[in-house]
Amino acid sequence: MVAAGAELADEVGLGALTMGGLAERVGVRTPSLYKHVAGQEDLVRRIAALALSESAVAIGTAIQGLAGRDALAAAAQAFRAYVLAHPGRYAATVGLEPAGQDDPLVAAGVRALAAFRAVLRGYDLPAAEEDHALRTLRSAFHGFATLQAARGFQWSADVDESFGWMVDLLDRGLRRA
């Protein structure tokens, strides 16, 4: 149910994810969906939780055995690959309030952050700066991925190359120049 919604969102875009479309995909009439999800908002939340969980394991496995710059590059690649492969799922994760603390969303979010925290452990950062570094990485990766997914990079230069360049810059920056 949620999995089918996630697939559909990846194919048509989160904005075009419709209850009717999902019903058709799973071979059911639209109102029947409400026996499984509370509504469209609930559906999107669950897709978001799925996306956070999946991306967390993707990044987590990508950085296994790596440290420092290698870990950063691997995490960045894994993150971007996930977002490009699953744009609908990822779009679901942005701009949602975590309702309650038993929300599976926060658990999934924490796991995703943990993967990036692991990357930062390879750099000698003062503890007080770890949160700043985490936010910086998240902003840069999130920004790049969403801009690319939205066709935000229209002009010439190669996008992969730009991404590598950005990762290099972040690595230099994290190593305290």
Question: Where on the chain is the footprint of DNA (CB under 7 A)?
Answer: 17-21, 28-32, 34-36, 38-41
In this complex, which beta carbon is closest to a second copy, that of residue 42 or of residue 129? Answer: 129
3-state secondary structure of 122: coil
Token duo for residue 3: 């999995």
User: To 10 degrees, the CA torsion angle through 118, 122, 126, 130?
Assistant: -30
In this complex, which beta carbon is closest to a second copy, that of residue 1 or of residue 164? Answer: 164
In this complex, which beta carbon is closest to a second copy, that of residue 64 or of residue 156? Answer: 156
Q: Which does 29 bind (CB under 5 to 8 A by kind): a second copy, DNA, none?
A: DNA
Q: Which does 32 bind (CB under 5 to 8 A by kind): a second copy, DNA, none?
A: DNA
Residue 176 — φ and ψ, nearest 5°? 45, 95
Query: Minimum CB separation from a second copy for residue 161, in Å?
Result: 7
Half-sphere exposure (CA, 13 Å, Cβ side) for 86?
21
Q: Which does 30 bind (CB under 5 to 8 A by kind): a second copy, DNA, none?
A: DNA
Query: Minimum CB separation from a second copy for residue 101, in Å?
Result: 11
Taking the C-alpha atoms of residue 48 and residue 98, their distance in angstroms, rounded to an integer, is 11
Is residue 1 close enough to count as binding a second copy by CB under 8 A?
Answer: no
Look up residue 152 and give its DSSP letter. -
* Residue position matching structure tokens 């939340």: 45
Is residue 19 close enough to count as binding a second copy by CB under 8 A?
Answer: no
Taking the C-alpha atoms of residue 146 and residue 155, their distance in angstroms, rounded to an integer, is 16
Taking the C-alpha atoms of residue 149 and residue 112, their distance in angstroms, rounded to an integer, is 20
Taking the C-alpha atoms of residue 160 and residue 147, their distance in angstroms, rounded to an integer, is 13
Residues 51-110 interacting with a second copy (rule: CB under 8 A) = 94-98
In this complex, which beta carbon is closest to a second copy, that of residue 29 or of residue 161? Answer: 161
Query: Minimum CB separation from DNA for residue 42, in Å?
Result: 8
Give the footprint of a second copy on this chain (CB under 8 A). Answer: 94-98, 129, 131-133, 135-136, 138-144, 146-147, 150-157, 159, 161-162, 165-166, 168-170, 172-177
